Amino acid sequence: MKNKNIWITGASSGIGKQLALDLAQNNRVLISSRKVEMLNQVKQSNPNQIDVLPFDLADYHQAEQWVENAIKQFNEIDILVLNGGVSQRSLIIDTKIEVDERLIQIDYLANVALAKAILPYFIKKGGGHIVVVTSLLGKFGTPFRSGYAGAKHALHGFFDVLRQEHQKDGIEVTIICPGFVKTQVAFNALNENGEAQKAQDEATANGMDVDMFSKKMIKAISQKKKEVYIGKKEVLAVYVKRFFPNILDFIILRSKVR
């Protein structure tokens, strides 16, 4: 990918940050999140190619204004990467409903709102590319991640339909499903009370390096893949779920993954 104008949400750290750094080598990149100081640190790595547009995904009713601001700031947007979100680590029976609501708001509704807000622009422009980062848990569930898995499953349903309805308008949709990636996602995951658990877990610590993940993701975007699974051996669970669901349950219930 070269000479594209790319807007990335959730770009202050982790996957979004690495993606911005890699894409900025050959493209102009607009990065967003609520963490202004961290966004500015990312910008300083390549100030001529990276620009900043901060906002909080929790305020997703302002999505139309965010899109308007992005277009004014960037003049043109070719690719929107919806990467912002939050994870979870808590059992269903212990989890307050407010936590489920927040996961739906941040992981699902905020991404839906941004996609809906940019659609008229892409249609008028004659095309565009929406990339949404979900999770392997958008394909199957595991304990301690009920609300997160539910929100990610919902993203698959919505963006599959968006692709079908707007293919005629030249709009591409790529769904990226990460497995375990070495980021702070587990550290920031919500517990049963909606607070960050502030602890890394073994599976995430042993996950794919974020720079390798970013390269694989960029390749998938450039090839305009419809849906891609990126990770280590956990990717196999998608296919086990499809053909041998009872075996997957057996494996998950006996694993130590949390």
Quick check: 148 and 88 in contact, CB under 8 A?
yes
Query: Using CA atoms, how far apart are residues 85 and 82, in angstroms rounded to an integer?
Result: 9
Residues contacting residue 87 through CB under 8 Å, at least 6 positions apart? 145, 148, 185, 186, 188, 189, 190
Q: For the beta carbon of residue 44, count every other beta carbon within 10 angstroms.
A: 9
Look up tokens 């990276």; give the residue.
50
Radius of gyration of the chain (CA): 18
Contact between residue 196 and residue 188 where contact means Cβ atoms under 8 Å apart: yes
Closest CA to 222 of 26, 13, 14: 26
Verify whether residue 148 is a known catalytic residue.
Answer: yes
Q: Could you give the CA distance from residue 243 to residue 237 in angstroms, rounded to a whole number?
A: 10
Q: H or E segment at 52?
A: strand 50-52
Pick the catalytic residue: 60, 108, 148, 229? 148
Phi, psi of 45 (to 5 degrees): -70, -25
Secondary structure (DSSP) of 121-153: HHHHHT-EEEEEE--GGGTS--TTBHHHHHHHH
Active site residues: 148
